[in-house]
Structure 1
Amino acid sequence: MMSTPPLAHIERAKRIKVMIFDVDGVLTDGSLTYSADGEVSKTFFVLDGLGIQLLAKTGVVTAIISARKSVIVVKRAADLGIAHVYQGIHDKRVAFAQLLEATGVTADECGYIGDDVIDLPLLTKVGFAVAVPSGHADVQHRVHYVTRAAGGRGAVREVCDLVMRAQGTYDAALAPYYA
């Protein structure tokens, strides 16, 4: 288990320049619905999407790294303005190395939110490692923060808000909506 004193995750969130999201179980609730012709559908939570957009407006780069490949994810990422999308790469370290090269940041300046053991290679490298409450126990014991909200039900928004608050950009990001 990563030993993180209480509220140390706030200090870690302050340093984040790139926030990376897993898809299944994080941006979605982890359910995969197959149609009779084999098409897979996923459901995304609207509050998570706006959180990603607000975070990006503060200057934090957003990215997706997912072992599964889906045109639905490409569409959702385009809708949210996520330019860095890596799919179908089971060794997520490969995609992570490409992302670091593309953005010019260090691993310590990245945050990652995942839910299963396939995410551990990244969760143990980034500066701010996050899991969802339904995540695998081995994952939850190795992260800096476990969200209160479930994957696909506000976990991503919780993390985006947390990063913005830690960086002092939350009020400015939401100000246009209070006018």
Structure 2
Amino acid sequence: MALPDALLDRIRRIRLFALDVDGVLTDGRLYFQADGIEIKAFHTQDGHGLKLLKRAGIHVALITGRDSPMVSQRAASLGITHVYQGCEDKLSALKALCQRLGITLEQVAYCGDDLPDLAAIKRSGIGITVPNAPDYMHTHADWITDRLGGHGAVREICDTLLTSQGHWDAVMDTYLHRHV
């Protein structure tokens, strides 16, 4: 999907990509084993996209209402240090992180899929949601990804940020010349 020029201009100013987990980084379904252990499925391409953002100097944060050891493990494996779990007020967490990083909310892209994400979507420089979010979330977002949450939506956002900010050629060059 081609994004409007005005939105691309705002994307170029993004210094932090913050996102919800369930429904964005996962497909939103919760799996529990008989012993109560929670299991989540994460898309590998989403994870690689987040690593690429970090390498390009864009901060990444996970802000989720649930508290899950799986989120801690996934964040650690991706090198994400800004992780807020059990967070009921996502906008307050986002504001505090912006203050700590010395950036403004206008320099934030936030992706969420449900009502607890609404304030962060509305106040961020770019508010993003996924097609499998409830329809009322679509009306408040600046951008609705083509790909579903848990099925590459995060990678779509990462690739767009990298391309719009002029990092894509360096990313490709790294992989094209790795084994020359």
TM range (shorter): over 0.9
Partner of 2:156: 158
Q: 1:39 aligns with which of 14, 34, 37?
A: 37
The share of aligned pairs that are identical, in percent, is 41
CA distance in 2, matches of 1:6, 1:93: 26
CA positional deviation for 1:127: 0.4
The size of the alignment, in residue pairs, is: 175
CA distance in 2, matches of 1:174, 1:126: 29
Partner of 1:171: 169
- 1:49 pairs with 2:47: yes
Q: Is the 8 A contact 1:29 1:150 kept in 2?
A: yes
Partner of 2:140: 142
Q: Is the 8 A contact 1:67 1:89 kept in 2?
A: yes
Q: Mind listing any 5+ residue stretches in structure 1 that lack a counterpart?
A: none
Query: Which amino acid letter does the alignment assign opposite residue 123 of structure 1?
Result: I
SS, match of residue 124 in structure 1 = helix
Q: What is the RMSD computed on CA atoms of the aligned residues? A: 1.1
Which deviations, in whole Å up to 9, do the C-alpha atoms of 1:119-151 show, x marking residues without a partner? 001001000111100011111111111101111
Runs of 4+ residues deviating >6 angstroms: none
Matches within 5 A, 1:1-179: 6-179=4-177
Higher relative contact order (CA 8 A, sep 6+): 1
CA distance in 2, matches of 1:77, 1:95: 17
CA distance in 1, matches of 2:31, 2:64: 17
168-177 vs 151-160, greater mean Cα deviation:
168-177
SS, match of residue 165 in structure 1 = helix
CA distance in 2, matches of 1:87, 1:70: 7
Scaled by the length of structure 2, what TM-score is found? 0.94
SS, match of residue 163 in structure 1 = helix
